[in-house]
Structure 1
């Protein structure tokens, strides 16, 4: 079931990326990085559509990936890369576009950034990538000490700047703006997906609360013995991390059984351990 869920997420997120790129990025000539950014530029220089150029580049990069990385080349990346290329190519025949969907370039830029960024965030969250320049990054990571993040950003910046002489200053500025927004959106979506609630519960009787956490929410908790600085009474501190929906249930339960309990609840998105990330 876990593999099936991953396969569904891979497929849906890849199709979201393909739709965002084809409908909003290609017609407006937005070239903010990646293979699709290169395809936008080359699509104006060679007798091929951006979808066909994307397919050709991704297939070449897959060959390089297998050649340099061998078995360490992830099957998820292969699947996503092939599906992405095939989907873009298929969309050109299923839903041919002669120009932008609307006459509002800022609105189109918003969707050109939001849809692919959302899809990529889901991929990154399950340990996959959209292929393309990520394959180059994998090869560089294995054979060099280059700062991969900086190298990818610089390559995306070069691709965005290349739009200026080909498409003009307006499209070039939109491409640079899209590049800057894309990174922020991906980080924000990943953080939102992984967002959990960290509880510090100071109480007199931890047993019913821990029983609720373990048996009803199917999570675990730690209990620390403490003493109140003002009251000098013996207290207990319960430490636990829950998903957002579970956090609401626990907060309501504590308010019912021990209204005097002191709750400190904070947001966190980096939880490593059993039941969360390994």
Structure 2
């Protein structure tokens, strides 16, 4: 019952995150010809060029990326992301004609807009869902290319802002990139380093089951070693696992289910090379 309650709370927080993001887009960024990055940015440009509702485009363009999330991370992540993306689509449609709260001041627009959408997206990500599919594409490409997820997100968004410049001009593209940069930093603060890969070191009395669950539900291989406690007598087993930023919440759930008393240390991982240890599809 407690798990169901927590899951419902997470859904509500993702919906709130989508509401906040939609408000930042419709009341600040879009009226000032400033875009977001990722699939949302592509949707904004497409909406302007084709004169189609932004909410519908956000929902449609994110469909293939939700499938990637399902394949790479699992059903729960895909389900929560669908809720987040649909909520963002609905809220942007509802708020389309709301009053603009900031006009003309480019610095204020980028800072306030970036903070608001960053807070909304960070809130969704912290609770296991995503509001934009470009992160999922970056995760997939990181398996094939010798680059980290964060580097690929930045690389993919560079093309988005080139596209933005064709509609909002060079100034609009520059302001959009600044707003996106600010938003990414806010997400980082909310998620405590959510913008990169992470290494989990887990000391568990049930390491065999834990490794099996991680491999089955996340498609991740782990390493483990026997260590000795400081009393020089107690033998313990330490499991090490490298994950991407979208998998953190799910890995924590796996650990809590298998061994709630496990010791966990989490490290930021600036760079890595997968070698022969590659992630498998979970479906």
- The 8 Å contact of residues 14 and 84 in structure 1, kept in 2 or not, is answered as yes
Work out which of the two has the higher radius of gyration on C-alpha atoms and give 1 or 2.
1
1:30 is aligned, of 7, 10, 34, to: 34
SS at match of 1:74: helix
Does the aligned pair in 1 maintain the 2:15–2:124 contact within 8 Å?
no
Per-residue CA deviation, residues 90-117 of structure 1 (Å, 9 max, x unaligned), is 323xxx1587752323222222211111
TM-score of the two chains, using structure 2 as the length reference? 0.58
Question: Is residue 2:163 matched to residue 1:175?
Answer: no
**What residue number does 2:148 align with?**
147
Q: Are residues 1:54 and 2:58 paired? A: yes
Calculate the aligned-residue CA RMSD, in Å: 3.7
Cα distance, 1:7–1:275 mapped onto 2, change above 3 Å: farther
Aligned equivalents of 2:103 and 2:77: distance in 1?
40
Q: Distance in 1 between matches of 2:77 and 2:184?
A: 24
Aligned to 1:128: 129
**Partner of 2:191 in structure 1?**
190
Matches within 5 A, 1:93-172: 96=97, 101-140=102-141, 147-172=148-173
Residue 251 of structure 1 corresponds to which residue in structure 2? none
Task: State the shift of 1:63 in Å.
Answer: 5.5
Distance 2:173 2:125 in 1: 28
**Normalized against structure 1, the TM-score is what?**
0.59
- Displacement over 4 Å in runs of 4+: 63-73, 97-101, 141-146, 271-278
Unaligned runs of 5+ in 1: 194-223, 226-270
* Structure 1 SS opposite 2:62: helix
Contact 2:164 2:172 survives alignment (8 Å): yes
Equivalent residue number for residue 39 of structure 1 = 43
The offset of 1:175, in angstroms, is 1.5
> CA-to-partner distance for each residue in 1:226-261, whole Å, 9 max, x for gaps?
xxxxxxxxxxxxxxxxxxxxxxxxxxxxxxxxxxxx
